[in-house]
Structure 1
Amino acid sequence: MSSPERTIVNLLAEIAFSFDGAILGLTLAFSSVRSAFKYASNSAALNKIKEAPEVSVSDLRSLIPTTEEQQYGSSENGNSHDRRIVIVRGTVKPGDGSNKNNVLISSETGDKALIIQRTQTYMYSGWKTLFQLSNTHRFILERTLPKQGTYCMRRVPFVIVENNQKQPLSSFLVVNMDGSRQPLPLTTVYSRLQPMTSSPFSFLQALLFPEYPVGLLDVERILPPGRDITAVGICSFNNGVPEIKSCEDLPYFLSEMNKDKMISDLMSRSSVLFWGGLIMGCVSIGILSFAAVRSWNRWKLWANQRQTPQTPNQPVVEDETEDADEIPDGQLCVICVSRRRIPAFIPCGHIVCCRQCALTVERESNPKCPVCLQSIRGSMRVYYS
């Protein structure tokens, strides 16, 4: 770890443990609340997938009403049942039910695909710099270095058919990917790291910066035809053709897992979110309670110090000068044996010292009575009438 990173870590640790750990407790509480919200959404998605039927493509017409039935049902009951979450397992085929068999062909490998995703990312390496520049200068110079390359995604319309169905397509399910944000089950077919060409500018980057580009990673991922996948989403009929769209409340749209694996995966996520949020919540409550108690004790001590007069800096009133020969032996101070016993210790009540020796005893770190060795809180002058 370099010195700037170590400084940042130390600064973050000081901020986290400041105010008796109140900031750390608030951070853990915020994380616990976020885990609770994620657990709630994950549980809702789990319930929806459990209730969703797992059907084949040919069974969709018996499960979901057609357009005429939807209109008839909406006129009869005042509502429509055209939006229903289903789980369909099948094989990916190109086209939208007609004779469109156009597919994409990878320019690198020549593989046929329905979706091609290509990313180009700069790969960085680093070492301890020779000249430590300021953060402002490093930021100005690093703005000329792009961290991310290009990203492109091409696709053609495709459908899902029965696993054992042959051409021509008699029953199919159209996949509508408009607005879908869930990750797709793509296969990496091309991955190559192209080294950066050496130049005086690249040598200057390696000399001055903690990170410098060493290559360009080119990755290509495709969705090949004939692949078995599971579609999870809202199914409806569009002009008599079944169509499935992604649901924003579900973490899956196209996946290699079946219904049982999806349920198992969501249950494990829910368990991690529940126990993680519970542990972070308990720890945050403990830290915040400790910080509150410490702050309350400090406030009470500060209030007591404001109310109690500061007597140690006041001048000590000298006792009336009196000859030690005129004082009886039973009334002499047990410490200096030269002045009369005047104050009484609190709470034991023993009168054994003069005023000066009593103040000396009270100023000790653990003041105790010289006779009974009981802890004392102060002294009080006693007047004899």
Structure 2
Amino acid sequence: MSIYDQAAAAVLSQIATAADGALIGLALAYVAVRSIVKFKANSSALHKINDAPSLNVSDLRSLLSSSDNSDSSNHSDDGKLVIVRGTVEAKSAVEGNWKSLRANILSAHNSAEKGVILQHTQTCIYNEWRGFFSWAGDLYSIFPRVRKDQQSSSLRTVPFVLIETGRWPQPKYVNVNMDGSTHSLPLVTVYHHLQPLHATPLTFIQALFGHHYPVGVLDEEKILPLGKDITAIGVCSSKDGILEIKSCEDLPYFLSDMTKDQMLVELAFKTKILMWSGVLFGSVAVGVLGYAVVRNWNRWKLWRHQRQAQQQRDAASNDDDVQVSADEESGDVPDGQLCVICLTRRKRAAFVPCGHLVCCQRCALSVERDLAPKCPLCRQTIHSSVRIYDS
């Protein structure tokens, strides 16, 4: 670990332990709240998926018809949450008109594989080496936006449907509406190639002034191939007699390789993890915040008590100053008995614990009020002063 990393770690530890761990408690409380929010979302999704019927493509129309007949207030555009298992096929291949003679599909550039979704990703791989001017690399880590994006990705789709397996050439199908969907897709990698980059003078300069320099480009192509069996879970509706299914924002899945039972098992596991993590982090956060509150409350009470005692000492010193004789204030005082600070009054106060008698009562009180009170003679930390009286 470099000296910069050690300094950053020291600063972070001081910030984290500030106010007796209150900042740590707030961070744990935030994690607990986020876990509870995600637990509620996953629990709701779990109940929705459990209640959603798992159907074949041919059963969708009858389900929507029965739903409309049972409740006249529901419109067909509202749709119903369903789980459908089917095979991917291009929409142009099942339209049944002259357009089907030329299927509208996508072809991977490097592997020539056919599909309805094509994702092309290029990732720049960086090597890490701490050069002679390593502070530049630390600036890159603090301000990551200064560097260029390490990854560029493009996603292309064509209209496609899910057909019922084994019903070709006159299949029952449902259109898949990808508009507004941000869910992960069950894509298959068809091309994966790492192309190394040759060193250039620019690479040498980057390595000299920082510890990030490019060494290669990873080129990947992923597709959703034709004939792949997938599960679609979403809102199914009928528009102009054509079935369509679209994603539901409240659910973590849309198109997936998993079956309904596998989704339920995965969601149930995530729900338990989020619930117990929320309980654990919440309990620790309550304990840390409670400890911080008690410590700061006791510290405030101690400060208030010390302030009251200081005010009482100040009042007593003022009364004592009134009783100081005139010769002590401005009379004839030998040079060896003068206060080392004001040089006008007699030495009357001894510091505790060093015991040095070098100041008058007023100057001793002013020394005590400093943030770090020290004896003017030995520079030792003092706690208080004691008035000395002649016999």
Q: TM-score band (shorter)?
A: 0.7 to 0.9
Quote the offset at 1:200 in angstroms: 0.7
The structure 1 residue matched to 2:125, chosen from 123, 126, 136, is: 123
Quote the offset at 1:4 in angstroms: 2.7
Q: Is the 8 Å Cα contact of residues 109 and 190 (structure 1) preserved in structure 2?
A: yes
1:90 aligns with 2:86: yes
Q: Deviations over 1:92-143 (max 9, x none)?
A: 1112531432221111011111111011111111112212345797689987
The equivalences for 1:244-323 within 5 A come to 244-308=245-309, 309-310=312-313
Quote the offset at 1:179 in angstroms: 0.8
Cα distance change on mapping 1:139 and 1:297 into 2, 3 Å: closer
Q: Is the 8 Å Cα contact of residues 73 and 80 (structure 1) preserved in structure 2?
A: no
The structure 1 residue matched to 2:156, chosen from 149, 154, 157, is: 154
1:22 aligns with 2:22: yes
User: In the alignment, which residue of structure 2 is the partner of 1:206?
Assistant: 207
Secondary structure in 2 matching 1:305: helix
Count of residues in correspondence between the two structures: 311
Cα distance change on mapping 1:189 and 1:134 into 2, 3 Å: closer
User: 1:24 is matched by which residue type in structure 2?
Assistant: I
Quote the offset at 1:36 in angstroms: 0.8
Counterpart Cα distance in 1 of 2:248 and 2:165: 24
Cα distance change on mapping 1:2 and 1:116 into 2, 3 Å: farther
User: In the alignment, which residue of structure 2 is the partner of 1:348?
Assistant: none
Counterpart Cα distance in 1 of 2:132 and 2:118: 43
Counterpart Cα distance in 2 of 1:136 and 1:239: 60
Quote the offset at 1:193 in angstroms: 1.4
Cα distance change on mapping 1:145 and 1:138 into 2, 3 Å: closer
User: In the alignment, which residue of structure 2 is the partner of 1:51?
Assistant: 51
Cα distance change on mapping 1:169 and 1:179 into 2, 3 Å: farther
Counterpart Cα distance in 2 of 1:266 and 1:139: 36
Query: Superposition RMSD on alpha carbons, in Å?
Result: 2.8
User: 1:27 is matched by which residue type in structure 2?
Assistant: A
TM-score (norm 2): 0.73
Q: Deviations over 1:117-172 (max 9, x none)?
A: 01111111111221234579768998775233431111111111112222x23310
User: In the alignment, which residue of structure 2 is the partner of 1:327?
Assistant: none
- Structure 1 window deviating more from structure 2 (247-256 vs 206-215): it is 206-215
Counterpart Cα distance in 2 of 1:145 and 1:288: 39
Cα distance change on mapping 1:227 and 1:134 into 2, 3 Å: closer
User: In the alignment, which residue of structure 2 is the partner of 1:194?
Assistant: 195
Cα distance change on mapping 1:216 and 1:226 into 2, 3 Å: same
Counterpart Cα distance in 2 of 1:293 and 1:227: 62
Counterpart Cα distance in 1 of 2:263 and 2:249: 16
- Structure 1 window deviating more from structure 2 (262-271 vs 124-133): it is 124-133
Cα distance change on mapping 1:262 and 1:139 into 2, 3 Å: closer
Q: Is the 8 Å Cα contact of residues 140 and 147 (structure 2) preserved in structure 1?
A: no
Q: Deviations over 1:231-263 (max 9, x none)?
A: 000000011111000000000000000011101
TM-score (norm 1): 0.74
Counterpart Cα distance in 1 of 2:80 and 2:5: 52
Gaps in structure 1 of 5+ consecutive residues? 318-358, 361-385
